[in-house]
A and B are shown apart, each in its own frame.
Chain A
C-alpha cells in the first residue's frame, strides 16, 4: 500500500521572508506556550517540511534558554536560534541561494497541541554586472558616450545583465520616463534588453539614456547612464559678401575675407579656392558648431572676374559639404600699351603713307578718358574712329616724333610707352 507523505496536503498559514545573499535573515518562530503554565519541550526546524531537522532545541528537561542546540553540519555554523523576546526564530547568516525554500518550525509543548509554522525564504542575489553595447558599426561597448552617430542612424542599444536571482527586470529610461521594459533574452544567467531608437535627429545630441537592472526593493539597482554623441555636417556656409554677388577689392591692397559655417559637429573645416587654385593663407577659429575662416588676399589685376569659393565640411563626413562663392571684382589703374602693326617699321615710313597706332588698354573699372599725345602735346581726336586707334593719314615730316596714349579710370591714370615715328624725306 502506497503511503502518501502528504506534502501536498493542508495549507497552514505561511510567512514570507526575504533575505539578501551574503546578509542575515530571521525565520520567525514563536515558541512560547499558548497557556502560561505549560512549557516548551522541543523546537525543530525543517528545510522543506519533513525529513531530518536542520536545527533543534531540546528543552525537555531544562528551560528553553538553557536548552541544548543542535545544527546540521551543512549549515556551516551559519544558523542559530534567537531566544530573546524581541526577535524569535532561526537566524541564518551569510545567506546563500541554496537556502531558498520552505521551512517548517515545529514546537512541541508539554500540555498543548503541537504548533507548526511555515516560513518561505526568498533569497535575493544582486545581479553581477551590467554592460551596454551598440550594434552600430563598429560594434562596441559603451562606457559613457555612445557614438558619434550620423543623422538618420537607426541604432540599437543593448543592455546585458549577468546574474541576479530572481531574474532582474532590465529597463531603459530617459529622464524618468520608461522607454522599454521588455527583455528579449532571458536564458541562464543572461538577461538582455535591446532598445531600438527611431532614426536619430540633431535633437538627440547629448540625450541621456539609462539602463537599470533590479530584482528586489531590498537592494540598490544596478544602473549605467550613457549619452548620445552625434556627427553632422554644416547647415549653412556664407562668405561675408553674400547677397551682393561680387567682392570688390583694390589692386595690391591686402584684404581679409571671412567665411563662416554653422551647424556642424564637430565644427567644419573650411577650405578656399580661387578658380581652381587652393589658397592657403587662411586661419580658422571654431566655437561650438560655428567655424570662421579668414583669408588674406592681395588682389592682382589677373584675379579680376575669378570665382572665390569657400567650402565647409565636417571631418568624418567628407561627402556632406556646403560652399559659397563670389566673383572678385579687382579695381586697378589702367595698363596701357601703345602698339603699331608689327609689319610697320616706324623708321621707314615715307611721306604720304598711312600709319595707325593702337592703344591697348587693360583697366577695371573701364576707362573714362583716353588722351593721345604727340611729343607731349595732347591731340584732339574725333570722328568715327574708335579712340583706341590713332590713324594718321598721309604723314608729313611734321608727323615725326614720339607718340603716347594715356588712359584714366577711377583708380588712376597712366601713360603708355612712347613710339617714335621718323618720317623719311623725299
Chain B
C-alpha cells in the first residue's frame, strides 16, 4: 500500500461512554498535504455525516435507521462534529474516512468505539425488611436497580463491611420487553447475630449500584432487633457511645461489690 504524500488522519476522538440523551463531540483531524475532496463519518456501515468543501452545501447529514444520534450541522465543521441526543442504538464502531481530490482520491480511515449507557432513574431499592427481628433470626432482603443499560452491578454491605459471599445470591438481570432496559437484582440472607447489632440494636444494610465510571448510587436500610437493650457485653465489636459504656461499667461494679460481699460473708 503506497503512502500518499500528505493526507493522513492524525487524530480521531470519540467519547468512550455517554449517557442516553446526552450529547458530545467527535473529532477527526487530518494533515493537509493534499486538498480534501470529502470527509465522511460512518456508524458501522452507514454514512451519517459528510463534508465536501467543493460542494454546496459543504455539510450533509443522513439519517441512520432508528435515529440513534442527531448531528448539529450548524455547530459542525470539517471533521469536528457535534452530536445531540444519543440513544442506545448509537453504541458501535465509528469510522472517519478522508479522501483526497482527483486524480488520486487517496483515502485514509480511522476507527473508534463508543458505548451509550442508559442510567437508572432512581437509586437502588432494598425490599423485604421486616419491622423487627429476633436475635439470630435470618434476615432476607433483595436489592434492585431498575431499567438501565447495561444492567447495574450491585453490592451489599452490612455495617459498611462487604457482605460475606455466602450471604449473597446473584440473579440474572431481567429485561423490559419494550425498552430493552435491564433490571439487576441481588439477594442477601444472613443471621442477625448479636455482634452485628450496633447501638440502638440495629444493623445497617447498604446496597450500591454502579455502571462503569458513569454511575454510582446507594441506599441504606436499618434492620431492627426485638430487644434493643440486650447488647452484648463480652464482644469487643460493640460500638463505643459514652452512655452505653457507663452502663456497662456500672454493671461490672455491681458484680464486683456483690462478689466481695459474698467473700466477706463466707469468712
A and B: interacting chains = yes
A48 at the interface (CB under 8 A from B): yes
In the bound complex, do residue B11 and residue A42 qualify as a contact, i.e. CB atoms below 8 Å apart? no
Q: Contacts A3-B11, A9-B111, A58-B102 known; A50 to B46 CB distance under 8 Å?
A: no
Give the contacting residue for A113; candidates B62, B104, B109, B111; CB below 8 A.
B62
In the bound complex, do residue B107 and residue A3 qualify as a contact, i.e. CB atoms below 8 Å apart? no
- Measured between beta carbons, the chain B residues less than 8 angstroms from A51 are 1-2, 4, 106-107
In the bound complex, do residue A4 and residue B111 qualify as a contact, i.e. CB atoms below 8 Å apart? yes
In the bound complex, do residue B1 and residue A48 qualify as a contact, i.e. CB atoms below 8 Å apart? yes
Binding stretch for chain A, among B37-45, B76-84, B152-160, B233-241: B37-45
Give the contacting residue for A52; candidates B10, B12, B107; CB below 8 A.
B107
Interface string of B71-113 (1 = CB under 8 A from A): 0000000000000000000000101000100111111111110
Nearest to B102 among chain A residues (CB) is A58
A356 at the interface (CB under 8 A from B): no
Which residues of chain A (1-60) have a CB below 8 Å from chain B?
1, 3-6, 9-10, 12, 42, 44, 46, 48, 50-53, 56, 58
A112 at the interface (CB under 8 A from B): yes
In the bound complex, do residue A112 and residue B1 qualify as a contact, i.e. CB atoms below 8 Å apart? no
Give the contacting residue for A4; candidates B47, B60, B112; CB below 8 A.
B112
In the bound complex, do residue A6 and residue B109 qualify as a contact, i.e. CB atoms below 8 Å apart? yes
Nearest to B3 among chain A residues (CB) is A51
B9 at the interface (CB under 8 A from A): yes
In the bound complex, do residue B102 and residue A52 qualify as a contact, i.e. CB atoms below 8 Å apart? no
How many residues on chain A are close to B (CB under 8 Å)? 26
Query: In the complex the two chains form, what is the Cα distance from A3 to B111 in whole Å?
Result: 7
Query: In the complex the two chains form, what is the Cα distance from A5 to B98 in whole Å?
Result: 11
In the bound complex, do residue A108 and residue B108 qualify as a contact, i.e. CB atoms below 8 Å apart? no
- Measured between beta carbons, the chain A residues less than 8 angstroms from B99 are 44
Inter-chain residue pair count (beta carbon < 8 A): 71
In the bound complex, do residue B105 and residue A3 qualify as a contact, i.e. CB atoms below 8 Å apart? no
B48 at the interface (CB under 8 A from A): yes
Query: In the complex the two chains form, what is the Cα distance from A325 to B110 in whole Å?
Result: 98
Q: Contacts A5-B109, A6-B95, A6-B111 known; A70 to B1 CB distance under 8 Å?
A: no
Interface string of B104-141 (1 = CB under 8 A from A): 11111111100000000000000000000000000000
Query: In the complex the two chains form, what is the Cα distance from A53 to B105 in whole Å?
Result: 7
Q: Contacts A1-B11, A3-B110, A112-B62 known; A9 to B103 CB distance under 8 Å?
A: no
Nearest to A110 among chain B residues (CB) is B55
In the bound complex, do residue A113 and residue B46 qualify as a contact, i.e. CB atoms below 8 Å apart? yes
Determine the main DSSP class of A at the interface with B.
loop
Which residues of chain A (103-148) have a CB below 8 Å from chain B?
106, 108, 111-114, 116
- Measured between beta carbons, the chain B residues less than 8 angstroms from A112 are 62
In the bound complex, do residue B9 and residue A10 qualify as a contact, i.e. CB atoms below 8 Å apart? no
Which residues of chain B (1-51) have a CB below 8 Å from chain A?
1-2, 4, 9-12, 38, 40, 42, 44-48, 50
- Measured between beta carbons, the chain B residues less than 8 angstroms from A106 are 107
CB A394 to nearest CB in B, in angstroms, measures: 142
Nearest to A51 among chain B residues (CB) is B1
CB B221 to nearest CB in A, in angstroms, measures: 46
- Measured between beta carbons, the chain A residues less than 8 angstroms from B1 are 48, 50-51
- Measured between beta carbons, the chain A residues less than 8 angstroms from B60 are 111
Q: Contacts A108-B38, A113-B47 known; A52 to B110 CB distance under 8 Å?
A: no
- Measured between beta carbons, the chain A residues less than 8 angstroms from B47 are 113-114
Query: In the complex the two chains form, what is the Cα distance from A417 to B111 in whole Å?
Result: 134
Q: Contacts A51-B1, A114-B47 known; A46 to B107 CB distance under 8 Å?
A: yes
Nearest to A52 among chain B residues (CB) is B106
CB B67 to nearest CB in A, in angstroms, measures: 14
Query: In the complex the two chains form, what is the Cα distance from A9 to B42 in whole Å?
Result: 12
- Measured between beta carbons, the chain B residues less than 8 angstroms from A113 are 46-48, 62
Give the contacting residue for B110; candidates A5, A46, A114; CB below 8 A.
A5
Query: In the complex the two chains form, what is the Cα distance from A112 to B95 in whole Å?
Result: 18
CB B27 to nearest CB in A, in angstroms, measures: 11
Query: In the complex the two chains form, what is the Cα distance from A42 to B2 in whole Å?
Result: 22
- Measured between beta carbons, the chain A residues less than 8 angstroms from B44 are 10
Query: In the complex the two chains form, what is the Cα distance from A50 to B48 in whole Å?
Result: 19
Query: In the complex the two chains form, what is the Cα distance from A9 to B2 in whole Å?
Result: 21
Give the contacting residue for B102; candidates A4, A6, A56; CB below 8 A.
A56
Nearest to A70 among chain B residues (CB) is B103
Query: In the complex the two chains form, what is the Cα distance from A106 to B42 in whole Å?
Result: 13
Nearest to B103 among chain A residues (CB) is A70
In the bound complex, do residue B11 and residue A4 qualify as a contact, i.e. CB atoms below 8 Å apart? no
Nearest to A47 among chain B residues (CB) is B1
The 10 nearest A-B residue pairs measured at CB = A6-B111, A113-B47, A113-B62, A52-B106, A3-B110, A51-B1, A114-B47, A4-B111, A12-B45, A53-B105
Question: Could you write out 18 A-B pairs with CB less than 8 Å apart?
Answer: A3-B10, A3-B12, A4-B110, A5-B109, A6-B110, A10-B45, A44-B99, A51-B2, A51-B107, A52-B104, A52-B106, A52-B107, A53-B106, A58-B102, A70-B102, A106-B107, A108-B38, A111-B60
Known: A10-B44, A58-B102. 11 other contacts (CB 8 A): A5-B108, A5-B111, A9-B111, A10-B93, A10-B95, A50-B108, A50-B109, A52-B4, A52-B104, A52-B105, A53-B107
